[in-house]
Amino acid sequence: MGSNSPRRRPRKEMLWLSAIAGAAALILLVYFIGFPGTAPAARANPPGAIPVTVATAAAQDVPIFLDGLGTVQASNTIAIRTQINGTLQSVNFVEGQQVHKGDVLAVIDPRPLQAALDQAVAKKAEDDAQLISAQKDLARDQTLVQRSFQTQQVLDQQQAKVDQLKATIQADQAMIENAQVQLSYATILAPIDGLVGFRQVDVGNIVHTTDPNPLTVLTQIQPAWVIFTLPQSDLGAIREAMLHGPVNVLAFDQDNVKQLSEGRLLLIDNQIDQATSTIRLKATFANVDARLWPGEFVHIHIQAETRKNAVTIPPAAVERGPSGLYSWVVSKDDTVDQRAIETMTVNNEMTIVTRGLSAGERIVVNGQSRLEPSSRVAPKSATASAADGA
């Protein structure tokens, strides 16, 4: 037993040395090559590359809108009043009802007016009979004068009586027509198509032509008008647009989020308000779905022009520095350069670059805070970022 122990000790030492060498080799392999799961990430983001989100400048036709605040007006507003005095016999509409031109809105008791008309007709019939009798007497007097059995004076008097009766009959006809007009006023008709408002007089009341309150108010909202204002500085662009044809106008709700209707510019006021340095304009809208309501405040977007092949970028790509506006442009080798630009804001989703960028160039829209000129970046498109977020 004692003679075998010295021979086993060198074998254990060799095993320990082999284990240590294997562990060292594994550590070196991991250090230089990396774990299999981390290799793609290391290759995707080289050491020192800053992750950023990029977008591509695009060329497109962009409509340019000028913004204003306006008020909706009805194209017609009519207070329905009585033109005669009398008892309101019936009301033939429902409040808020859509009525058409010629519809019966109300009826006033017609009996006194019908009696006046009948009286005028009877008076004319009486005078017609007297005229016939006078004309016969005139004919006889003319015959007697020719035979010298009657004086010329009597003939002249009879002629005057006939002429007087003719004039009386003309007056009778005028009285009949007046009575017919008065009788027609007993039936109140809708003068236009429109919406009926609140009923302000109940059946059975005596109405007068001098009453302060109308029976109701009829409002035509198809079409509808919008009166709005723009700064005086926009006048030239609007007039130039009108020279090239109809100018489109969009009406949005008071939150300036939802489009309500589309119409066209009708006119520009003939003078500028010097107190506010603004100009008033009127636009007309078909308003078929009645989404514009009289008295409503709306945001107006009027299309002044269309920029052809304009270079557009997201507003997030525009930075402001001591020397003005700039954007970070990503080159082909994934390094960035700070580029001075000039822009024109269109909306919250698009900015037009008037100088400094070309269509197709990549610009940084997120991650600019860590960038410096010539920094290397790991770009990711804005579309891919949105997909990852979803």
Q: CATH code at 341?
A: 2.40.420.20
132 within a domain of the structure (yes/no): yes
Indicate if 141 and 248 belong to the same structural domain.
no
Name the nearest CA neighbour of 352 among 324, 385, 370, 325: 325
**pLDDT digits (tens), the chain, 390 positions:** 444 444 444 555 665 566 666 666 666 555 545 444 444 444 445 557 889 999 999 999 888 889 999 999 999 999 999 999 999 999 999 999 999 999 999 999 999 999 999 999 999 999 899 999 888 888 887 888 788 777 888 888 888 988 999 999 999 999 999 999 999 999 999 999 999 999 999 999 999 999 999 999 999 999 999 999 999 999 998 999 999 889 999 999 999 999 999 999 999 999 999 999 999 999 999 999 999 999 999 999 998 888 888 999 999 999 998 889 999 999 999 999 999 999 987 777 889 999 999 999 999 999 888 888 888 999 988 665 554 554
Name residue 38's amino acid: T
24 within a domain of the structure (yes/no): yes
Give me the count of residues in the chain: 390
pLDDT score of 37:
46
Indicate if 96 and 176 belong to the same structural domain.
yes
- What CA–CA distances, in Å, run from 167 to 4, 109, 127, 173? 165, 33, 10, 10
Domain tally, the chain: 4
Domain of residue 240, residue span:
66-75+218-306
- CA dist 158 and 165 (Å) reads 11
Indicate if 193 and 239 belong to the same structural domain.
no
Which of 151, 185, 207 finishes a domain? 207
- What CA–CA distances, in Å, run from 219 to 23, 39, 77, 194? 92, 74, 5, 5
Which of 306, 333, 352 finishes a domain? 306
Indicate if 91 and 198 belong to the same structural domain.
yes
Write phi, then psi, for 52 (nearest 5 degrees).
-140, 160
| Distance of alpha carbon 329 from the chain centroid | 39
Are 280 and 234 in contact by the 8 Å Cβ rule? The answer is no
Write phi, then psi, for 133 (nearest 5 degrees).
-65, -40
Indicate if 257 and 269 belong to the same structural domain.
yes
Indicate if 222 and 176 belong to the same structural domain.
no
Contacts of 117 (CB under 8 A, 6+ apart): 176, 179, 180, 182, 183
Q: pTM for the whole thing?
A: 0.65
- What CA–CA distances, in Å, run from 139 to 144, 166, 317? 9, 16, 107
